[in-house]
Amino acid sequence: MPARKRKAQSTSAKVLKHYVLKKGEKYMNKKQLAHFRNKLLAWRKELEDEITRTVVQMRDEPDNPPDPNDRASHETDMTIELRSRDRERKLIKKIDEALQRIETNDYGYCDVCGVEIGIARLEARPTAELCIDCKTLDEIREKKLG
């Protein structure tokens, strides 16, 4: 395995480990904020690398395969790929917003009620802006309106 790939894997493995909360530890202390900042930065880098890979792939592949079936399959693949990248672009925006909340010391607290979101929830969804109760109410309202 090339050295560059080994380094990337070991960096991701370090960053992706869950934060182990110590007894009596203050919520959203400097160590926790650094952990989530690193996690978010690694996630953003991974998404940006995927976007770059897609751009290079689209540029390097032939535009129009001669066979109509191949062309249709290629167009479908590209549509799916572009849709995925668009979702990732939106996710990068959410990651940047979470990083901004870390800088302003608002990270880890619910935007609606101000309570702690919780380490476990942030590990599962580092871009979370709402506590589980507010998110549940938000989803119920969305179901009723939608």
pLDDT at residue 142, rounded to an integer: 95
The tens digit of pLDDT for each residue in 28-37 reads 999 999 999 9
DSSP one-letter string for 29-52? -HHHHHHHHHHHHHHHHHHHHHHH
pLDDT at residue 10, rounded to an integer: 37
The tens digit of pLDDT for each residue in 17-29 reads 888 888 899 999 9
Q: What is 25-107's CATH superfamily?
A: DksA, coiled-coil domain (1.20.120.910)
- Of the pLDDT bands very low, low, confident and very high (cuts 50, 70, 90), residue 3 is very low
Is residue 40 predicted with pLDDT exceeding 90?
yes
pLDDT at residue 126, rounded to an integer: 97
- DSSP assignment letter at 27: T
The tens digit of pLDDT for each residue in 50-109 reads 999 888 887 777 667 788 888 888 888 888 988 999 999 999 999 999 999 999 999 999
User: How buried is residue 92: exposed, middle or buried, by Cβ count under 10 Å (0-12/13-18/19+)?
Assistant: middle
CB 131 within 8 A of CB 113: yes
Q: Which two tokens stand for residue 67?
A: 């066979």
Q: Which two tokens stand for residue 90?
A: 């939106």
Q: Where are the domains of the chain?
A: 25-107, 108-146
- Of the pLDDT bands very low, low, confident and very high (cuts 50, 70, 90), residue 128 is very high
Is residue 133 predicted with pLDDT exceeding 80?
yes
Query: pTM of this prediction?
Result: 0.79
Alpha-carbon separation of residue 53 from 10, 37, 132 (angstroms): 21, 24, 35
